[in-house]
Amino acid sequence: MKDRKGETRFSRDAVRNLAADNAAKPADKATLSPVAYQIASQYARNSNSPVMISGIMRIVEFLIILVTGMTVFLMYVGPHQGTGFSYFFAILVTAIVGVLVLELTDSYQLAVMRNPFTRFGRLLMAWSGTFALMALAAFFLKISEAYSRIWLGAWYVSGLILFIAFRVIMSRLIRRWARNGKMERRAVIVGGGKPAEDLIRSIEQQPYNDIRICGVFDDRDAKRSPPVVAGYPKLGNISELIEFARIAHIDMLIVSLPITAEERVLALLKKLWVLPVDIRLSAHNNHLQFRPRAYSYIGSVAMIDLFDKPINDWDSVAKRAFDIVFSLFGILVFSPFMLATAIAIRLESKGSVIFKQQRHGFNNEVIEVWKFRSMYTEMCDPTARNAVVKNDPRVTKVGRIIRKTSIDELPQFFNALMGTLSLVGPRPHAISAHTHNLLYNEVVDGYFARHRVKPGVTGWAQINGWRGEIDTEDKIKMRTEFDLYYIENWSLWFDLKILFLTPVRLLNTDNAY
């Protein structure tokens, strides 16, 4: 276990180097009980993240201050020469300060957003304090005479009315979303018995709790782990939990084990780290004390952060915007090449221009990926059971060219635009892809961890030379290593670097057949 930047985490190497008999199983080998499957199906629809909701509220309230200030200015003062810029600058600064003051007064906490009238005094003080600060700043800077007092008063009142109305509307929506499951963090308790029961009771006692406990999973038998814990059924063992978490879109796994049971915790993490979820170790019954920054909290219940869901909340919004912008750009730039390729394919051989193949996507879901058809129609292999090799007779003359140059991958810009792929990420492999008669997940321990993020049109492994035929176990192991490095070090700048290096690195066609 290591402490990095104040957070206590198990290292990936410690998890992956545990005994091989604890290796993660592919999800399709676990069979859920009818009760577990029924419960998982109830949560199959994604929920809204409270972090996203509070972020949207910050943006809207910034716009409320900005728009009301500009509207009152245009209606009362008017854009007279020499005054427009000074007013706009004052309005912009006030909007920024307003959101910062609301943030500093904890006005974006879930309890305040759910019931604004219980903290109405705080909200009023934050709103009034913002305008008081700006008026005081104008006084000390000796520029107050440049601004209309009626404009400031009308802006304060009209903005306050809209601000309160927005808070009331959002509070009703948040309470409704909390009731019907549209805004919650779905959690599963890993481990049973008395520790799990105490943990569940503590979580349920937290006011304005956004955690929905979906069940309990434990490898121990009924003698050591009762079938019902604090009113929640034990739905299966840890291998079945992987399948359950994927169906139910679980957000968090809470491990209810003492931190001193390090070997057992590591054995659990070796199976669970492949999931795109937050993994927390309950510190509720632990007597070891860490620095305060080592903990996260559910209300007042302390948790030790073991793994975080990668590319989550606003990071996912930024990455999606990145995909849309650059996908549209790519389609525009490469449309002549795509049109010419489509014509060449149709002229050489019969069949569809586009080849559609099922591959593993985010969270191990099956997605459909588009490519230009590079094989004769009757010889196409949708399952990729037989990998393409050098001088493969199934590949057409046009196919050899477009595979060498990766032109066959250009239709995946449309996959990225639709959201089944990202522009940058681990390359998706066909569901039956294998090497030496072994599926990739049978070769690489933790292979499915590369599905914790959306797969990409290009990736870190590809620009480092790991593309083309996978004819040895080392090749899929190295691809997986590079993919995991990308996931753990993701940033928009990293994506941009990979995207712009891709055309250069594709000039090396040694392994592309």
Classify residue 88 by its DSSP letter.
H
Q: Thinking of the domain 2-47+184-307, which architecture would CATH place it in?
A: 3-Layer(aba) Sandwich (3.40)
Q: Which three-class secondary structure state does DSSP give residue 43?
A: coil
pLDDT at residue 96 in the model:
94
Share of the chain above pLDDT 90, in %: 26
Average pLDDT over residues 166-185: 87
Instruction: Please determine, for residue 328, whether its predicted confidence score (pLDDT) is greater than 90.
Output: yes
Instruction: Please determine, for residue 192, whether its predicted confidence score (pLDDT) is greater than 50.
Output: yes
- Tokens 């009023």 identify what position? 124
Query: Could you give the C-alpha distances from 383 to 62, 379, 388, in angstroms and in order?
Result: 51, 12, 12
Q: What is the 3-state secondary structure (H, E, C) of 453-484?
A: CCCEEECHHHHCCCCCCCCCHHHHHHHHHHHH
Mean pLDDT of the chain: 81
pLDDT at residue 439 in the model:
65
pLDDT at residue 429 in the model:
80
Q: What is the DSSP string of 273-285?
A: TTSSSEEEEE-SS
Distance CA(251)–CA(277), nearest Å, equals 5
Q: What is the pTM of this model?
A: 0.77
Distance CA(326)–CA(417), nearest Å, equals 9
Contacting residues for 377 by C-beta, under 8 A, at least 6 apart:
349, 350, 351, 352
pLDDT at residue 303 in the model:
84
pLDDT at residue 507 in the model:
63
- Indicate the residue type of 358: Q
Residue 3: pLDDT band (50, 70, 90) is very low
pLDDT digits (tens, 9 = 90+) for 416-464: 999 999 999 998 887 776 665 556 666 677 778 888 899 999 989 888 8
Average pLDDT over residues 380-407: 78
Q: Which two tokens stand for residue 444?
A: 């690489």
pLDDT at residue 20 in the model:
34
Share of the chain above pLDDT 70, in %: 84
pLDDT digits (tens, 9 = 90+) for 75-131: 887 766 566 778 888 899 999 999 999 999 989 988 888 888 888 888 999 999 999
Instruction: Please determine, for residue 290, whether its predicted confidence score (pLDDT) is greater than 70.
Output: no
- Domain assignments of the chain as residue spans, ordered by start: 2-47+184-307, 50-180, 314-505
Phi, psi of 304 (to 5 degrees): -100, 125
pLDDT at residue 435 in the model:
63
Residue 60: pLDDT band (50, 70, 90) is very high
**Are 191 and 255 within 8 A, CB to CB?**
yes
More confident residue, 17 or 315: 315
In degrees, to the nearest 5, what angle opens at C-alpha 29 toward C-alphas 193 and 456? 105
Classify residue 375 by its DSSP letter.
B
Q: Which two tokens stand for residue 356?
A: 């559609």
pLDDT at residue 383 in the model:
65
Distance CA(271)–CA(237), nearest Å, equals 11
